[in-house]
Amino acid sequence: MPHLHTWLRRAPLLLALLAAVALVAACSKDESSTPGAINVTLTGSASTPPVIPSDSYAPHNGQVIHAAVVDTASGQVVGRSATTVTSGAFSTQPGTNLASGGLYRVDFFADGTPGGGAATANGACDTGDHNWQVAIRDFNADGINDDTTSTPVGAPLPLTSSVTVATHHDGTYVVPDCLSFPSYTLTVNDVGANWGPHNGQTMRFALVDQTTGVITQEGSELVSGGTFTSHVLTTSLIAGDKYFLDFYADGDPGTGTTNADSVCGSGDHAWRVAIVDADKNGTNDDNTSTAPGTPQPVANAVHVDLSHVATYVNPTLVCPSFP
């Protein structure tokens, strides 16, 4: 009986300890499940308060908005996305599967001269672009960001739930340091020297953003002696984006410039290559094929080594890249 009396006397303490253990386990379970549940959506409004009717993103219609979510504690980019401005507005989701409690901001820029449309884009972040930063500050955890496009950027607050960062084109740009958007070169090489059927013809290249379909850069080289000079598309690959390289030979094979018209059409040989560098060694893993692979996010400078193989694609797939 003394043992029973001792146990009964200690029972409340034991129950309290068990309850504490259960609470810790529950908290641990909640914390481990939070990553993967939090997303960040960036929007740009076409309609604005009546007092500022010019604050839509219309000056950037047709241009691509590139967005990056940055962990402000480490300075690392943890998510990216891109979309095209249409009718003065856009929506994109640069941050997914983010951890609860993190401190983040959104960096974004419009590629091209304001009012110049897509024709002024160069596929890279530079001093000619409008750039913005927004701190993620959702004070009441209602999913709506409390900061707006501003300079200076406010201090982030710990992220606790998915947030929509709603912005308007208010002219408070930041100085573009572009650190969140490193860009790399794409070099197109001839490795087969077997382009003889296209001697005298011009090879035309177009780098296409797979997500938006926007042509970020174009170039061309003359085929002579069955080969063409390596062509460098400078500052054209933004880290984290996905691309196709479209190209065609201008003119009917074996006819030189007889049928060349600088227009991509049904009589031209055309190809498409996905930019895929899985091992990040700088050499593209895809080649000229009728079934281009799925592009992967760019992580460094890439060389695309081409040889003249007869696995053409239907020009209707490629010609929209050469309007």
Q: pLDDT for 199-254, tens place per residue?
A: 999 999 999 988 888 888 899 999 999 999 999 987 778 888 899 999 999 988 87
Per-residue pLDDT tens over the stretch 87-135:
999 999 999 989 889 999 999 999 988 888 888 888 888 888 899 999 9
Among 2-11, 56-65, 114-123, 218-227, which is the least confidently predicted range? 2-11
In this prediction, residue 151 carries a pLDDT of 66
> Burial code of 82-120, b = ≥16 C-beta within 10 A, e = fewer?
bbbbeebbbebbbbbebbbebbbbbbbbbbbbbeeebee
The token duo for 165 is 């960062």
Provide the pLDDT confidence category of residue 292 given band limits of 50, 70 and 90.
confident
pTM above 0.95, yes or no: no
Per-residue pLDDT tens over the stretch 150-179:
666 778 999 999 999 998 887 778 877 788
In this prediction, residue 290 carries a pLDDT of 59
Report the candidate in 174, 165, 140, 209 with the shortest Cα–Cα distance to residue 44. 165
The token duo for 36 is 């993967």
Rounded distance between C-alpha atoms, residue 29 and residue 297, angstroms: 32
Q: For all residues of the chain together, what is the average pLDDT?
A: 81
